[in-house]
Amino acid sequence: MRAPSVLLAQSPTPDPGLEDSREAAASMLETVLATLPRLAVAILVLIALWLVGSLVRRLLEPRLTRLRTPSFGRVFASLAGAAVKILAVFAALVITFPSVNVLTVVGGLGVLGIAAGFAFQDILSNLLAGILLIFRQPFVSGDQIEVDGIRGTVEAITIRETRIRSFDGRLVLVPNAHVYTNAIEVQTAYDAVRSSFVTGVGYDTDLAGARRLVTETLAHVDGVLDDPPPEPYWIEHGSSSVVLDVRYWTSSRQADIRRVQSAVAEALFDAFNEAGIDMPFDVVTLDAAPSFGEALRRDA
């Protein structure tokens, strides 16, 4: 009779890879749980400093505006607020990950910044030029300027561009780098500017009397300044008249310049007519060829 066989149960061999995964997951969970309190503190610090940055911008903008200009206050208050917010990000990073070397992170951001500088060279040049323009203030909002053939009133200076409203009512956005590297004529930098009006009188005119008449006439034109006084100069013997350059000073605003120029032209026209001073046109002499005269005779 055969002896009964005995089956022995054998427990399965544990999988080493599965055990490692479990240990890694447990370790990660422990790390996350240990990090949660620091993360909560970091979030609170980030929110607090972010609000401080917004508060700094709001408090600084009106004070800097009173100190300099609205553009100066707006831009530099925004930069100060942004600096506080960047500090908030670094503070939150340090609190959350104490082992992180901040200097290493800053160095990495520096390298990244250099790469971004090459990639966005035009944008960064406009940014730097805008900061320099606002800080140096060669002109401010409301000034009337000319830069590279563009003439108008400055509406605002932003970080990227200068907004100019041209004298014919168009909005022109000029990149700050272009403004900073070109010659700028600030028409309203001073209260008064000199204008001139050129006219002519006949050769039989009393020139000294005509100059006195011009000076007396301009003294009564609204908008022509008494100091410096108007100055009429004879500048040329033209083909049919003696040319007179009338120089006078007005307000530097473009509308005032054009208005006074029209008033000066009208006042001089009336004064010369009343005084019997001739303002002749250019004399044109036709020297006809013999063939032209023969053609006229044939047509007659």
Distance in angstroms (rounded) separating the CA atoms of residues 197 and 270 = 15
Q: How many Cα neighbours within 13 Å face the side chain of 222?
A: 2
How much is the pLDDT for 280? Answer: 81
Distance in angstroms (rounded) separating the CA atoms of residues 134 and 130 = 6
Query: What residues contact residue 58 under an 8 Å CB cut-off, 6+ apart?
Result: 77
How much is the pLDDT for 270? Answer: 94
How much is the pLDDT for 260? Answer: 96
User: Is the Cβ–Cβ distance between 139 and 184 less than 8 Å?
Assistant: yes
**pLDDT tens series, the chain, 300 aa:** 555 555 444 555 555 555 656 666 666 666 666 667 777 777 887 888 788 888 888 887 788 777 777 777 777 777 787 788 878 777 777 777 676 665 665 655 555 555 545 445 577 788 888 888 888 888 888 999 999 889 999 998 888 889 999 999 999 999 999 898 899 999 999 999 999 999 999 998 999 999 999 999 999 999 999 999 999 999 999 888 899 999 999 999 999 999 999 999 999 999 999 999 988 876 666 666 666 667 666 765
How much is the pLDDT for 175? Answer: 92
How much is the pLDDT for 116? Answer: 47
How much is the pLDDT for 289? Answer: 64
| CA distances from residue 164 to 67, 129, 167, 225, 241 in whole angstroms, order as listed | 23, 16, 9, 28, 42
Which tokens is 256 given?
């005032």
How much is the pLDDT for 157? Answer: 87
How much is the pLDDT for 23? Answer: 62
Helix axes 102-119, 121-136, angle to 10 degrees: 100
How much is the pLDDT for 25? Answer: 61
Which tokens is 141 given?
């909002």
What are phi and psi for residue 290, nearest 5 degrees? -55, -35
Task: Pick the closest to residue 272 from 210, 189, 216 (CA basis).
Answer: 210
How much is the pLDDT for 226? Answer: 92
Residue-wise burial string across 161-172, b where 16 or more C-beta atoms lie within 10 A, e elsewhere: bbbbeeeeeeee
